[in-house]
Structure 1
Amino acid sequence: MSPPLPSDAQLDALREVANIGCGHGANALARLVGGRVDLSVPEVRVTDATQGPALFADEAPAVAVRLGMTGELRGALVLAMPSVDAEALESALLRGHPASPEERESALAEAANILASACLSAIGRLTGWRLLPSVPQLQRGPVRPVLAGVLGDVEPGPGVVLAARFSAPGPTPLGGQMLLVLERGSAQALLSRLGL
């Protein structure tokens, strides 16, 4: 028998956790690019991780950086951006200096690592858990295959996908999504930790 779906109160709590975690991630990104980063209200979906790509409506070229989680949570944190936005972020991170493709990818992966660390640290302070990201993995290509690739090793079966859109206005505007994908057992452990 499968576990019951989260209640409305539990979904609200997960949304607030995502809001806190992704908010800290957005603040870290703002410091990196030297500007403001706006964040949408996070969306919460109870779904199989393999359905994560369905959150994206088109097949535009994209870049996704995946970081696993070590500690009491299992799943993945993914930074996903249209290719043009990823290029804008790379340029902002490198302050417009010429760089090789490897250096650009390294800058983007390190930015994702900083975002993920800020997000997981915030969730860790909320729960009292020590949560750390794993080594970032970067993929490029059409958005759905790329997301399917980075989410491929998340435990199959129902889980929780927390998604927040971010945008950075300015001379070189850019945007994308932060996805926090929790395996079902981790979502339940998090809710239990929050007393729900």
Structure 2
Amino acid sequence: MKIDPKEIDAIRELVNIGVGKAAGILSEMTGSTIELQIPIVHLYSEKEFHQIESSLGGERYAAVTLNFEGAFSGVTFSIFPAKSADILIAAITGDEPDFSDKILHLNAIHAETLKEVGNILINGVMGSITNVLGKQLLYSLPTYSEGEIPALIESVRSEHREAIFIAETRMFIRSLDIEGKILLIMGSNSLEGLIARVREISEQ
């Protein structure tokens, strides 16, 4: 399916609105103003999977996963590298950041904190998209896991892995730089439905 750059821009704006709403909630949680960088959005087909692997490398991430179904279906990931996960946890819990390059040092409380943050980010983005669709989606409960991005994507059922959006953004809390990514993975029919609705709105 061919997608016009303007349609990618429209999806980027939806992600931007959703992340902005999530940042407002996180600002209240941390007691600090959160500044955001406008997300960079890339779209890959399943055939271009090797490009994702080569561009994102083998870093291990903390990931929150949410499955959705309804008007369109798929999986959304909110993922953070180790140092960004440390900063987020410290900002919310008041602990001192570890600044470790390894995810494995995180304990169960830290994992639950990241799951809450990831859920807020995912719901912000998906809420922005469903508002445009004008339809409701059903969501699974969020789950927390750790792994490399290619492995996370490969864990998604093949019928939901035909289109992969990767939105990269940065948040700044107390001048600290936090890297985060949203992965929106869906089947081709779901992608066509989303793009068709974006086109309808742009033509109004």
Q: Flag whether TM exceeds 0.5 (same fold).
A: yes
Deviations 1:83-127 (A, max 9, x none): 121122122222329xx8212111111221122222222222222
Q: Which runs of 5+ in 2 are unaligned?
A: 97-105
Aligned length: 189
Task: Give, as a single letter, the amino acid of the residue that structure 1 aligns with 2:80.
Answer: M
AA partner of residue 121 (structure 1): G
> Judging changes above 3 Å, is the alpha-carbon distance between structure 1 residues 145 and 114 closer, same or farther for their aligned structure 2 residues?
same
Structure 1's 23 and 155: CA in aligned 2 closer, same or farther, altered over 3 A?
farther
The 3 A distance-change label for structure 1 pair 84 and 188 is same
**What residue number does 2:8 align with?**
11
CA–CA distance in 1 between the matches of 2:116 and 2:48? 25
Q: Percent identity?
A: 22
Amino acid at match of 1:45: L
Contact 1:75–1:154 (CA under 8 A) maintained in structure 2: no
- The reply to whether residue 74 of structure 1 matches residue 53 of structure 2 is no
User: What whole-Å deviation, never above 9, does each CA across 1:131-151 have from its counterpart, x for those lacking one?
Assistant: 35422222224x3355335x5
1:148 aligned onto 2:153? yes
Q: Which runs of 5+ in 1 are unaligned?
A: none
The offset of 1:189, in angstroms, is 0.8
Tell me the TM-score normalized by structure 1.
0.78
Q: Which residue of 2 aligns with 1:163?
A: 167
- How is 1:68-107 mapped onto 2 (pairs within 5 angstroms)? 68-96=67-95, 101-107=107-113
Q: 1:166 to 1:140 in 2, by over 3 A?
A: same
Q: Distance in 2 between matches of 1:165 and 1:55?
A: 19
- Report the equivalent of 2:128: 122
Structure 2 residue matching 1:66: 3-state secondary structure: strand
Q: Structure 2 length as normaliser, TM-score?
A: 0.75
Shift in Å, 1:159 = 1.2
Kindly provide the amino acid, as one letter, of the partner of residue 149 in structure 2: R
Work out the CA distance in 1 between the residues paired with 2:12 and 2:176: 29
Inter-partner Cα distance in structure 2 for 1:32 and 1:146: 31
Distance 1:42 1:31, change over 3 A: farther
Secondary structure at 1:165 match in 2: strand
Instruction: Find the aligned partners of 1:35 and 1:129 in 2 and give their Cα distance.
Output: 32
User: How many Å apart are 1:36 and its aligned residue?
Assistant: 1.1
CA distance in structure 1 between the partners assigned to 2:132 and 2:184 by the alignment: 16
Matches of 2:83 and 2:10, distance apart in 1: 34
Counterpart secondary structure, 2:8: helix
